[in-house]
């Protein structure tokens, strides 16, 4: 790998070997800052992820009057919780590229006694926000959108609890309702038809909230008071999957990734790869502040294609780009269906998976909400259009490391959204 004229040039490698520590989890870092801000007392957050997206949440929370000290050496934050009613008004909040920041903060802010205004970058301002406006309005929230999109204007209102069945699979929507529900009295219940990550539920419980949850159901009983309690953020399994995939598809590889969050609602990708024949071992499992954490060992494997449906997609939504890359190198056919949510991420991920795989001479077909991939041993290096989407950039860097010739990754710096050290960590484990 080398950088020429600002473009990352990726060439085929021999093998992957060694040990690496997964970067801190993005979803848990966002939630740690938000919940510690409205808890009573001080919270130390260790191993916080310093990335563009999580900085958006951190700055927003500071603008809302919460003091956060950063110790970059220990990757730690000290948050002075203000309690549920201690936030103060700010002029406007720039959520950048981060859907999690925008949707979770809307849930938090619609129960406050002041107006709020949230906006994002070009990509975020195109992403759907009706999905939060609808349930929050049922609760009594006053939220204005522009044709279903940000900017979001929030006016103060009195919120009521709801019983809500989710009509799309989204942990952000679920979390937004849970945060708003903290400003109601009574019982809010959410049923999910498709399971999604449960980090908000886990962390609310960690902060002593009166909440019950199981696979598809959450109940929160108010009034609540959150009590500050220290948090260590586990490694991000979504970030780890790029290295897992590379080890799986590269001959003679053996890789250990330490301290990865293995919350059951995030490990579906590992089960899918194991089903494809992937040699993946989870060991040294332990619990750290209510979240499961473990080490993962991966060895090169002969993968075979599989069928992936909507229920699979909801449980590994961010891993579909890298899963598609491994499918392109697997034996036989893979069909990923029910993937409409991929079209409304930082880019239309279904489209960019298709275009980039096609340019690498993969046998691939695009359906309305699906993608079909007939795997082969070798892809051909090509120009990759990342659409400024970090997950497309990382997935196709992996594709390029196994392809013949050169692969050029445009705007590779977009990895700073979730994993600023991605290329640095990759260098550590590549053996030429
Ligand atoms: O709650 C979260 O932290 C996230 C939920 C998912 O989004 P959706 O809720 O829109 O599916 C995921 O794609 C995103 O990267 C992080
Ligand atoms: C979709 C993602 O994040 P967000 O929705 O927070 O922008 C992601 O990280 O892949």
Q: What is the pLDDT of residues 367-420, one digit of tens each?
A: 999 999 999 999 999 999 999 999 999 999 999 999 999 999 989 999 999 999
Q: How confident is the model at residue 122 (pLDDT cuts 50, 70, 90)?
A: very high
Query: Is the confidence at residue 56, as pLDDT, over 90?
Result: yes
Average pLDDT, the chain: 97
- Find the helix packing angle between 26-37 and 199-206, rounded to 10°: 40
**Pocket lining: 345 vs ligand 2, CB cutoff 6 Å:** yes
- What pLDDT score does 229 carry? 96
How many other CB atoms are there within 10 angstroms of residue 81's CB atom?
Answer: 21
- What pLDDT score does 131 carry? 98
Complete domains list, the chain, with CATH: 2-24+234-431 (3.65.10.10), 26-232 (3.65.10.10)
Which ligand gives the minimal distance to the CA of 393?
2
- What pLDDT score does 353 carry? 98
Measure 230 CA to ligand 2 centroid, in angstroms. Answer: 25
Q: Report the C-alpha gap between 154 and 140 in whole angstroms.
A: 12
- What pLDDT score does 150 carry? 98
pTM, whole model, 2 decimals?
0.98
Measure 26 CA to ligand 2 centroid, in angstroms. Answer: 9
Q: Specify whether the backbone of 271 is left (phi greater than 0), alpha (psi in -120 to 50) or beta.
A: alpha
| Segment 163-192, tens digit of pLDDT | 999 999 999 999 999 999 999 999 999 999
Which ligand gives the minimal distance to the CA of 120?
2
Please identify, by atom number, the ligand 2 atom nearest to the C-alpha of residue 389.
10
Q: Report the C-alpha gap between 237 and 24 in whole angstroms.
A: 9
- What pLDDT score does 97 carry? 98
Report residue 331 CA to chain centroid gap: 29
Q: Report the C-alpha gap between 304 and 302 in whole angstroms.
A: 7
Q: Report the C-alpha gap between 37 and 83 in whole angstroms.
A: 7
- Name the residue of 107, 131, 170, 175 whose CB sits within 8 Å of the most ligand 1 atoms, as the mutation to test its pocket: 170
| Segment 183-236, tens digit of pLDDT | 999 999 999 999 999 999 999 999 999 999 998 999 999 999 999 999 999 999
Measured CA angle at 25 (ends 419, 59), to 5 deg: 75
Contact 346, 388 (CB under 8 A): yes
User: What are the structure tokens assigned to 113, written together?
Assistant: 């006694």
Measured CA angle at 349 (ends 347, 193), to 5 deg: 105
User: What are the structure tokens assigned to 80, written together?
Assistant: 């002075």
Pick the catalytic residue from 312, 318, 389, 425.
Answer: 318
Q: Give the rounded percent of residues in the chain with a pLDDT score beyond 90.
A: 95
Per-residue three-class SS string for 104-151: HHHHHHCCCCCCEEEECCCCHHHCCCHHHHHHHHHCCCEEEEECCEEE
- What pLDDT score does 431 carry? 84
Please identify, by atom number, the ligand 1 atom nearest to the C-alpha of residue 169.
11
Distance set, CA 69 to CA 35, 46, 81, 240, 418 (Å): 16, 12, 12, 28, 21
């Amino acid at each position: 790998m080398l950088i020429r004229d600002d473009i990352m040039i990726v060439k085929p490698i021999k093998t992957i070997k060694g040990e690496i520590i997964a970067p801190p989890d993005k979803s848990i870092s966002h939630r740690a800052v938000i919940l510690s801000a409205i808890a009573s007392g001080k919270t130390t957050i260790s191993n916080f992820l310093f990335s563009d997206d999580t900085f958006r949440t951190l700055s927003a929370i500071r603008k809302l009057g919460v003091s956060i000290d950063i110790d970059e050496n220990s990757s730690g934050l000290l948050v002075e919780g203000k309690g549920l009613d201690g936030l103060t008004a700010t002029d406007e909040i720039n959520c950048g590229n981060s859907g999690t920041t925008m949707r979770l903060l809307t849930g938090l802010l619609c129960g406050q006694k002041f107006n709020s205004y949230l906006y994002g970058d070009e990509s975020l301002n195109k992403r759907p926000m009706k999905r939060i406006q609808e349930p929050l309005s049922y609760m009594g929230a006053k939220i204005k959108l522009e044709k279903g999109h940000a900017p979001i204007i929030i006016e103060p209102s009195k919120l009521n609890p709801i019983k809500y069945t989710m009509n799309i699979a989204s942990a952000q929507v679920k979390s937004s309702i849970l945060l708003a529900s903290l400003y109601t009295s009574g019982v809010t219940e959410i049923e999910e038809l498709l399971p999604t990550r449960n980090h908000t539920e886990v962390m609310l419980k960690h902060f002593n909230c009166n909440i019950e949850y199981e696979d598809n159901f959450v109940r929160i009983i108010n009034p609540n008071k959150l009590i500050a309690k220290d948090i260590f953020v586990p490694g991000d399994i979504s970030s780890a999957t790029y290295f897992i995939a590379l080890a799986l598809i590269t001959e003679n590889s053996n890789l250990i990734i330490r301290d990865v969050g293995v919350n059951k609602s995030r490990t579906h990708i590992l089960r899918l790869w194991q089903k494809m024949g992937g040699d993946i071992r989870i060991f040294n499992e332990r619990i750290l502040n209510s979240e499961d954490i473990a080490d993962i060992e991966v060895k090169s494997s002969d993968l075979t294609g599989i069928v992936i449906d909507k229920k699979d997609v909801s449980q590994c939504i961010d891993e579909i780009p890298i899963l598609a890359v491994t499918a392109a190198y697997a034996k036989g056919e893979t069909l990923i269906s029910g993937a409409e949510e991929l079209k409304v991420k930082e880019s239309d991920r279904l489209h960019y998976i298709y275009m980039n795989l096609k340019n690498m001479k993969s046998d691939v077909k695009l359906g309305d909400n699906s993608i079909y991939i007939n795997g082969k041993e070798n892809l051909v290096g090509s120009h990759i259009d990342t659409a400024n989407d970090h997950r497309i950039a990382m997935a196709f860097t992996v594709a390029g490391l196994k392809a013949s010739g050169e692969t050029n990754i445009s705007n590779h710096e977009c990895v700073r959204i979730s994993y600023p050290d991605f290329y640095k960590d990759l260098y550590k484990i590549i053996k030429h």
